[in-house]
Structure 1
Amino acid sequence: MTGFWNFFWLFFWAFAFVAYLMVLFSILIDMFRDEKLNGWWKAVWIIFLIFVPFLTALVYLIARGRGMAERTARQRQSVPEDDSWGAHPTASTTPAADIASAQSLLDRGVISQGEFEALKAKALGQRF
């Protein structure tokens, strides 16, 4: 039975340690993202994070949590979304693949017939 509890506590403390590291890195990222906080205050926060890590992290999250959430939301809005639907053709190695990609975009209605013709001419190396 002690083997199970040893494993349980090892798992619990490993989880707690990883969670703490995530909080710590979030705080560090937020500190350097904050333009209103000058360099001296950033240095003070980092020194306290090194010498009194748990208490400093808790105080930082309580005192600056709202601003931290606002800066994170602003950062997420400024990052462009990835093109997971393939709306923009990517470079390929063969003209046939480029034309097939353009045809797929045309069939889905993403591009017009004129844009398809331009992409086709570009893939074939023709000037348009």
Structure 2
Amino acid sequence: MDYPLLNTFWTIMWVFLWILWFMLLFRIIGDIFRDDGMSGWGKAGWTAFVVLLPFLGCFVYLIARGKDMGMREMQRARSNEREFQEYIRAAATANEQPGAGHADQLAKLAELKDRGDISPEEYARAKEKVLSG
């Protein structure tokens, strides 16, 4: 119990800054490896600079490539959102395509028969066709 309150606050601050530093370091290294426009030698050079001289390397990287870092993140987010929307659209329209599901086709046929759009004989033939095919 011989640890003053002010020292506790200082310790908490230093731990927080240490965690913040590692988050920044991992984000920079991740950005280096995700950048498709950078050559392999460029990636190796920046990684060595950031690992061997971490404080200087991170600050220089943020000054030199910080603006592009945000733009690359936005492009990646837009690309992921576009791919997700295309997947949802493809999954939603899969049920509308012919042969999507026998139950859906049979339900549509029953609805047509109930409305009187097709005769019971036509319904029976179409039902056989759906069930056989």
With the length of structure 2 as denominator, give the TM-score of the two structures: 0.59
Residue identity in the other structure for 1:69: G
Alignment correspondent of 2:12? 11
Cα drift, residue 80 of structure 1: 2.9
C-alpha deviations, 1:90-115, integer Å up to 9, x for none?
xxxxxxxxxxxxxxxxxxxxxxxxx7
Alignment correspondent of 1:75? 76
Higher helix share: 2
Say how many residue pairs are matched. 99
CA RMSD of aligned residues (A): 3.4
CA distance in 2, matches of 1:80, 1:24: 26
Unmatched tracts of structure 2, length 5 or more: 90-95, 105-129
Q: Secondary structure at the match of 1:80?
A: helix
CA distance in 2, matches of 1:42, 1:9: 37
Alignment correspondent of 1:45? 46
Alignment of 1:28-107 (within 5 A): 28-80=29-81
Structure of greater Rg? 2
8 Å CA contact 2:32–2:47 kept in 1: the answer is no
CA distance in 1, matches of 2:39, 2:54: 21
Cα drift, residue 2 of structure 1: 4.6
Larger RCO (alpha carbons 8 Å, 6+ apart) = 1
Identity of aligned residues (%): 38
Cα drift, residue 4 of structure 1: 1.0
Structure 1 residues 2-11 or 53-62, which shifts more? 2-11
Q: Secondary structure at the match of 1:30?
A: helix
